[in-house]
Structure 1
């Protein structure tokens, strides 16, 4: 979760954005056979080309569904995508897509460009060239003690970010598989500007963002920082090497505070908002497993009562 300047990854997606079905299908294949993505059988098993197999393997790691250096499934991946008892094995709940977004952009070691864009890049309107230039500047300034990625690699990452988060427009000569939106596009965290001059990524209320996902993310953040107090301003803006909730989910300050107030009621006695010396802070009142928040959401969702 914490950005470390010599533990980064760029351009490992083979230029393919993650697609509907890839994560659940890829996860279930790996769970059945941990070596499947290393074998020629994977092409037939998953019904995609060899480069896509490599891309699926990368996205499983980037979304923290398998371990970083192997294809051993994580407990979170099992809880989400297990066919028998998984919360959402076929990616039918929008909450899962919000959760996957958090898992991706809070993973700087495997998805550095995505971490950078949602935590460090705050320009509300931009072009593809501006993203590429800014990402290159970030790498030159912040990435240390490793071989710098090639310009073409950074360009590939920079162009893929808006492709993954905007809804595609089907052109006459575009192959149909290229028009399939990434599931992240439905979150509308990035939108294309009129006339295709560029993109927007502006703060907003995000009514579809469940409190259960907010609770999971914030509980993880408290644990990673090893603290029981975080100023709300630090939850809004990334001021250190950790992701910031407001930036990641593109929330306004008012909307973040509203969701935090709801969070204190979602599972009572876990979080509390207090003002100390004029500074609003979120207090962790007792230790809780982040999965408790996901369990709460998905349990209520099955009953038609999800927040």
Structure 2
């Protein structure tokens, strides 16, 4: 059991937020994925290549090393940034983030270098969908677009309105259209003419999370009871506390429904209020020294019981992957 006094996780603590969780209209990016959603093996392959050669993404031989075309090299580089697995230093060199090393660095006894544990996919999804700086359209889709049934044209129109009203500077309509296409291809499994999964659907690991469903030209996203480990939820909530050091409690409605400024775990993970409460009960039961649910005048709030330097997001991940290793 974890408590506020344990310090063994200090060594893997993430550096101060490279990409803020809070939406800032002056810090956004669109269309940097070269039209490609994440594909199986890309994050692991790109990360390992960077470990061997910090200049790989500026290397003329990158296409040979990674075994993909030039545009795909750029896409891999982008998704590693969007998933917060690599970061650029002041000298313009790229290096692994602490969480990137823990997940993928084989030399450091990595947690899950091939993304074989579904919890890792939920983690990658959170790291992207809570990153308004590098993945603005995806952040918007999960935290600001709340329609449960829509088609591609409706989604594109909503994104255009958001950009026109909230973003500093103009963005090309063609760029936004590509962003919408990538979101749908990355999260909604494509079906072939026989009703089975198409080969393209198998290319995107995040489609396995089934956060989006496709029926002809219509898409559906319905909050439900998904198989999300409570430790991944604990990590997400701890990040929200770290990003808002002045608060000691978070209202449950802010964990359920995002206004588009801060990411809301229930919105990002597409889970219902009832399922969120179930996960929070598991979370507080397993980490009673870290979190506490309180009900005051009918208002549910989740409180941290630790100081911020003791409530580290990474300890939830460390605990999760350690439990898998012990069970093996």
TM-score band, normalised by the shorter chain? over 0.9
1:219 pairs with 2:241: no
Name the residue aligned to 2:136. Answer: 112
Q: Is the 8 A contact 1:238 1:247 kept in 2?
A: yes
Name structure 1 gaps, 5 residues minimum. none
Name the residue aligned to 1:200. Answer: 220
Q: d(CA) in 2 for partners of 1:38 and 1:240?
A: 35
Q: TM-score, normalised by structure 2?
A: 0.87
Q: Is the 8 A contact 1:65 1:76 kept in 2?
A: yes
Name the residue aligned to 2:104. Answer: 81
Name the residue aligned to 1:3. Answer: 23
1:277 pairs with 2:297: yes
Name the residue aligned to 1:136. Answer: 160
Q: How many angstroms does 1:279 deviate by?
A: 1.0
Q: d(CA) in 1 for partners of 2:23 and 2:193?
A: 38
Higher relative contact order (CA 8 A, sep 6+): 2
Equivalent of residue 290 in structure 1, options 302, 313, 324: 313
| Cα 1:184–1:33 shift into 2, 3 Å | same
Equivalent of residue 230 in structure 1, options 250, 253, 257: 250
Q: How many angstroms does 1:180 deviate by?
A: 3.7
| Cα 1:218–1:143 shift into 2, 3 Å | same
Q: d(CA) in 1 for partners of 2:230 and 2:250?
A: 18
Q: d(CA) in 1 for partners of 2:94 and 2:228?
A: 30
1:162 pairs with 2:184: yes
Q: Secondary structure at the match of 1:126?
A: strand
| Cα 1:162–1:72 shift into 2, 3 Å | same
Q: Secondary structure at the match of 2:271?
A: coil
Q: d(CA) in 1 for partners of 2:42 and 2:69?
A: 13
Q: 83-92 vs 66-75, which deviates more?
A: 66-75
Name structure 2 gaps, 5 residues minimum. 1-20
Q: How many angstroms does 1:177 deviate by?
A: 7.2
Q: Is the 8 A contact 1:167 1:181 kept in 2?
A: no
Q: d(CA) in 2 for partners of 1:34 and 1:256?
A: 40
Q: d(CA) in 2 for partners of 1:142 and 1:104?
A: 20
Q: d(CA) in 2 for partners of 1:179 and 1:268?
A: 40
Q: d(CA) in 2 for partners of 1:50 and 1:219?
A: 38
Aligned residues: 297
| Cα 1:70–1:243 shift into 2, 3 Å | farther
CA RMSD in angstroms, aligned pairs only: 1.6
Q: How many angstroms does 1:72 deviate by?
A: 1.5
